[in-house]
């Protein structure tokens, strides 16, 4: 009798395991390494899980930390999708073979070619999902707009002793300088960098917000900043931030020539993704109109996907209605100039 009860119990247990296995196997998970740290992203991820049933496990770090982690983990990496916030870093991940190319008509139709990695027969290594412009901020009393309405003028002797800027080696500046090099050529770009260095009011230090505040405080008269730092100050609940913005004006450079330099936040599938189908679904989801607005507005940026417009009032006000001319060079080419630019900076003594 005992043996019969035992056999029944074993059979029951086996049945429970058999019924549990399919449910476990059906549970889909996406492992995300993200350099984005914005509160609106929580809603972005929750909406994806609600729509697809795919759970997101997220690891947060900065761009450099994520790339270093991927290299260290190698084939054992659990990462499926990588989100980074700079074209130079996306290019670095591509160049170091850390991404798995993706073939997706949804992404190719939605994301303009200049905001994607270098396409091959295997697919495209990364896609941009939001853009930010790198613009010039200036003292509205002491500086004439026409003296700062091009990037080239940052290196003109007329602006000697006027400029504040963060480190030339910061990825945001490496991308800007890489874009200028694409437009001017190496020889002229190096002379330009030498001119910018000669025009500094002080040694490079701090972030973009610090440069804006330095202009407002009279420490310098001209600065370079990503637009989302400006939008943050415009929308700030701190009266001092808003007061600082009342003392400065913003110009989107090179509207009469090649257009203003833009950088991106973007995503890629990790080379050793264990859940590639979920990874592609997530990247395609980021190109949808609802996700684009979450993705962009979380950091005061512009959506990238064709036909999607921003509803961010600060960006609209800053750009004079929302429309401005952007450069059209591929950001992959800008990223490829990174090492070259660092060598130029060393040669001209730009810190």
Model pLDDT for residues 10-38, shown as the tens digit of each residue: 343 334 333 343 444 457 999 999 999 88
C-alpha span between 241 and 212 (Å, rounded):
10
**54-69 per-position pLDDT tens digit:** 999 999 999 999 999 9
Distance of CA 334 to the CA centre of its chain: 14
Task: State yes or no: 37 annotated in a binding site.
Answer: yes
Q: How confident is the model at residue 310 (pLDDT cuts 50, 70, 90)?
A: confident
Tokens 């257009």, residue?
A: 259
Q: In the 8-state DSSP scheme, what is residue 184? A: H
User: Exposed, middle or buried: residue 90 (CB in 10 Å: 0-12, 13-18, 19+)?
Assistant: buried
Nearest Cα to 310, choosing from 320, 301, 319? Answer: 301
Would the CATH topology of 29-130+262-313 be identical to that of 132-261+327-348? yes
The domains of the chain are located at: 29-130+262-313, 132-261+327-348
Q: Is the pLDDT of residue 122 over 50?
A: yes
Question: What confidence score (pLDDT) does residue 22 get?
Answer: 42
Q: Would you state the CATH architecture of domain 132-261+327-348?
A: 3-Layer(aba) Sandwich (3.40)
The verdict on pTM exceeding 0.85 is yes
Which CATH number, 3.20.20.100, 3.40.50.880, 2.40.30.10, 3.40.190.10, labels domain 29-130+262-313? 3.40.190.10
Express as a percent the part of the chain with pLDDT over 90: 81
Q: How far apart are the first and last CA of the chain?
A: 85
């Amino acid at each position: 009798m005992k043996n019969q009860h035992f056999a029944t119990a074993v059979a029951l247990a086996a049945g429970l395991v058999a019924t549990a296995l399919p449910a476990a196997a059906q549970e889909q998970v996406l492992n995300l390494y993200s350099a984005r740290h914005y509160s609106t992203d929580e809603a972005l991820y929750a909406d994806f899980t609600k729509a697809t049933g795919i759970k997101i496990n997220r690891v947060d770090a900065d761009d450099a930390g994520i790339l270093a982690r991927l290299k260290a983990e190698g084939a054992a990496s659990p990462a499926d999708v990588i989100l980074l916030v700079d074209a130079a870093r996306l290019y670095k991940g591509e160049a170091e073979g850390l991404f798995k190319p993706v073939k997706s008509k949804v992404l190719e139709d939605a994301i303009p070619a200049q905001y994607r990695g270098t396409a091959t027969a295997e697919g495209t290594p990364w896609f941009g999902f939001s853009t930010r412009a790198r613009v010039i901020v200036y003292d509205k009393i002491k500086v004439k707009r026409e003296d700062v309405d091009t990037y080239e003028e940052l290196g003109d002797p007329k602006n000697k002793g006027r400029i504040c800027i963060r480190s030339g080696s910061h990825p945001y500046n490496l991308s800007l300088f890489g874009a200028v090099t694409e437009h001017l050529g190496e020889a002229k770009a190096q002379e330009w960098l030498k001119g910018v260095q000669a025009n500094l009011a002080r040694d490079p230090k701090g972030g973009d917000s610090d440069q804006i505040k330095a202009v407002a405080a009279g420490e310098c008269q001209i600065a370079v900043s990503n637009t989302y730092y400006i939008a943050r100050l415009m929308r700030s609940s701190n009266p001092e931030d808003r007061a600082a913005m009342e003392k400065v004006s913003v110009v989107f450079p090179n509207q009469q020539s090649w257009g203003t330099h833009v950088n991106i936040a973007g995503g890629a599938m990790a080379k050793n993704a264990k859940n590639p189908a979920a990874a592609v679904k997530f990247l395609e989801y980021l190109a949808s109109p609802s996700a684009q607005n979450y993705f962009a507005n979380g950091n005061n940026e512009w959506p990238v996907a064709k036909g999607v417009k921003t509803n961010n009032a600060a960006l609209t006000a800053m750009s004079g209605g929302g429309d401005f001319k952007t450069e059209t060079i591929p950001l992959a080419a800008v990223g490829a100039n990174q090492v070259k630019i660092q060598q130029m900076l060393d040669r001209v003594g730009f810190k």
